[in-house]
Amino acid sequence: MLIILKKNLPLSDKKQIRQFLVNKNVEVIPVDMADQSLMVIVGKCGELTKNEIKKHKFVSEIIEIDRPYKLASLSKLKTKTKIKIRENLVIGNKKIIIMAGPCSVESKKQIFDTAGQIKNAGSHIIRAGAYKPRTAPYDFQGLGKIGLHFLRLAADFNQLPVITEILDVRDIDLVARYTDIFQVGTRNMQNYPLLKELGLQRKPVLLKRGMCATYKELLLAAEYILIGGNQNIILCERGIRSFVPETRFTLDLNAVAYLKHETHLPVFVDPSHGTGRSSLVRAMSRASVAAGADGLLIEAHLDPARSISDSDQAISIQELEKLIKEVKLIAKAVDRL
């Protein structure tokens, strides 16, 4: 159950109602969002009835939610989250948003050339990792801080917003200085200390589904960020482990349709990691948009075979251009832009 507080209550009033509830053994978690303050009731209403809480002078309304992810679920509180990245660039609107770029920032020249070319191909946001979560500790781990710097310069030169991965809670302030959107990778979906800290940020977070996570686990991970007050979350399906050896992961498009019904948060798809094969990325991009995705996260490289990381799944810029044209046709067919 959610207790929606009246608008613009001073801190002293919020403290007062919290104390009133505590005294009646009602356990709550207060949530301060940009436009709304509320409290999530944990468990039962203590010694109070729902009506008694509703009558409190600081309460605007009570919303009952029969889901464990109280803030992430579709409800009277929220029907659709729209995330404004820039003027004319909103995630969660009709327009399909394309985030594209290399797996990793490899050099200043590489990221500058890539930024110009992915923009010309029709991408809206540049992606690239400076901190890479590699399976083997001997593999390229990313350029780190200097990589973030190159990425930001290349993006600004081309007036593109940036999305880049945050691996470590200790790097949040640093990465926040360079990025417009935090990416939480599949391996960190259940890194709860990281999620809690990102909840205190106001920059959007693209939260990738853990490669073995259920939909419920993904939504509860998003809930950790929402509880902190950060409402700007984009969920991302990026493929799950299955028994199929022919692809790196199995892209689960059920997740897109399911999540669009279950949550108000925008849903993206990463068909690059989801397939692990460049030859499948275009087809699965089309399918993702047909399934209702709000956007795509694509790995594209100037010279895919030479990509330092994830070369098997990187598509060329020419292929990206084709992909974006095709996706626009599908978007039109499903009443999107």
Which residues, 202 to 241, sit near ligand PEP by CB under 6 A?
208, 238
Among 78, 119, 152, 273, binds ligand PEP (CB under 6 A): 273
Which residues, 17 to 56, sit near ligand PEP by CB under 6 A?
none
In SS3 terms, 155-174 reads as HHHCCCCEEEECCCHHHHHH
Q: Which is nearer to ligand PEP, 3 or 284 (CB)?
A: 284
> Contact 61/38 with Cβ under 8 angstroms?
no
Which residues, 173 to 192, sit near ligand PEP by CB under 6 A?
185-187
Q: Is 310 in the site for Mn ion (CB under 5 A)?
A: yes
Which residues, 88 to 147, sit near Mn ion by CB under 5 A?
103
Is residue 182 helix, strand or coil?
strand
Q: Which is nearer to ligand PEP, 75 or 311 (CB)?
A: 311
Q: What tokens appear for 43 in the block? A: 């468990």
**What string marks each residue from 120 to 159 as x (binds ligand PEP by CB under 6 A) or -?**
---------x---x--------------------------
Instruction: Detail the DSSP E strand segments found in the chain.
Output: 2-5, 28-32, 37-41, 59-63, 83-86, 89-91, 97-101, 125-127, 162-165, 181-184, 205-208, 233-237, 267-269, 295-299
Q: Please spell the DSSP secondary structure of 103-136, one letter per residue.
A: SB---HHHHHHHHHHHHHTT-SEEE-BSS---SS
**What string marks each residue from 262 to 301 as x (binds Mn ion by CB under 5 A) or -?**
----------------------------------------
For the chain, how many residues are written?
A: 337
Angle in degrees, 0-180, between the axes of helices 192-199 and 215-227, rounded to the nearest 10: 40
Q: Tell me how far, at minimum, the Cβ of 223 lies from Mn ion, in Å.
A: 26
Q: Tell me how far, at minimum, the Cβ of 114 lies from Mn ion, in Å.
A: 14
Q: Tell me how far, at minimum, the Cβ of 319 lies from ligand PEP, in Å.
A: 18
Task: State the residues that interact with ligand PEP by CB under 6 A.
Answer: 103, 129, 133, 185-187, 208, 238, 270, 273
Residues at the contact surface with Mn ion, assessed by CB under 5 A = 103, 310
